[in-house]
Amino acid sequence: MDYVIPAPPVVALPVDGDARQFPVRRVFCVGRNYAAHAREMGHDPDREPPFFFTKPADALVPGGGTIPYPPATEDLHHEVELVVALGQGGANIPEAQALDHVFGYAVGIDLTRRDLQAEAKQLRRPWDMAKAFDRSAPVSALSPAAQIGHPEHRLIRLEVNGKVRQESTLDHHIWSVAETIAYLSGLVELAPGDLIFMGTPEGVAAVGRGDRLEASIEGVGELQVTIA
């Protein structure tokens, strides 16, 4: 097929133990999926229905590395998260079958321009420019579920310059991976290649130029990012 402009490249993540890569279609993010994080952001942590925002696939930074401090902010925050990669799609997926749709897992960092988000909230505007900017989603290589299973009680941690900022376990998700997939598939038809960022634990804070971030999820992966 011919196009009037060059077609954009396919965004893809490396896969542990496989020379092939995982092509990314869409990126969904669950908001406030840890009770302690909801409290630190000034919200009620009761189990309300999950809500979602999105990032463009080309906001991903596969494998991490050095990324520039983004423009238009003086308050850039880190949010370490479990990332779920779907190998199968569908609509209205039953919770009992949801994990069958998972290809694998990774560790990701949802970078957030917190000052822009606070302004958007105050003005009741969308969060897009606070969450969906260039290089706002570093992600590690994927670990296939066929090899590591489905992590439920693993330690999730983020260090900045060698000091722990965020630390929790995956079982503190308000909505589990299976529940999230089932609920989201009732809103949109999911597809192979979709990613879901599962929300961050407490301890989010600002990072600056020169800071080194080290994110990890036990048994899933590690991710290093330096803010240039």
| pLDDT single digits (tens) 132-162 | 999 999 999 999 999 999 999 999 999 999 9
Alpha carbons 34 and 170: distance in angstroms, whole number: 9
Per-residue pLDDT of 55-74, as tens digits, reads 999 999 999 999 999 999 99
In a domain, 13, yes or no: no
In a domain, 33, yes or no: yes
Number of domains present in the structure of the chain: 1
In a domain, 16, yes or no: no
In a domain, 10, yes or no: no
In a domain, 145, yes or no: yes
Which residues fall within 8 angstroms of residue 211, CB to CB, at 6 or more apart? 160, 161, 226, 227
Whichever domain contains 36, its CATH number is: 3.90.850.10
Would the pLDDT of 41 be above 60? no
Q: Which domain holds residue 68?
A: 23-161+172-227
In a domain, 166, yes or no: no
Confidence at residue 35, expressed as pLDDT on a 0 to 100 scale: 77
Would the pLDDT of 38 be above 80? no
Confidence at residue 1, expressed as pLDDT on a 0 to 100 scale: 85
In a domain, 74, yes or no: yes
Confidence at residue 43, expressed as pLDDT on a 0 to 100 scale: 59
What single-letter amino acid sits at 183?
Y
In a domain, 194, yes or no: yes
pTM of the model: 0.96
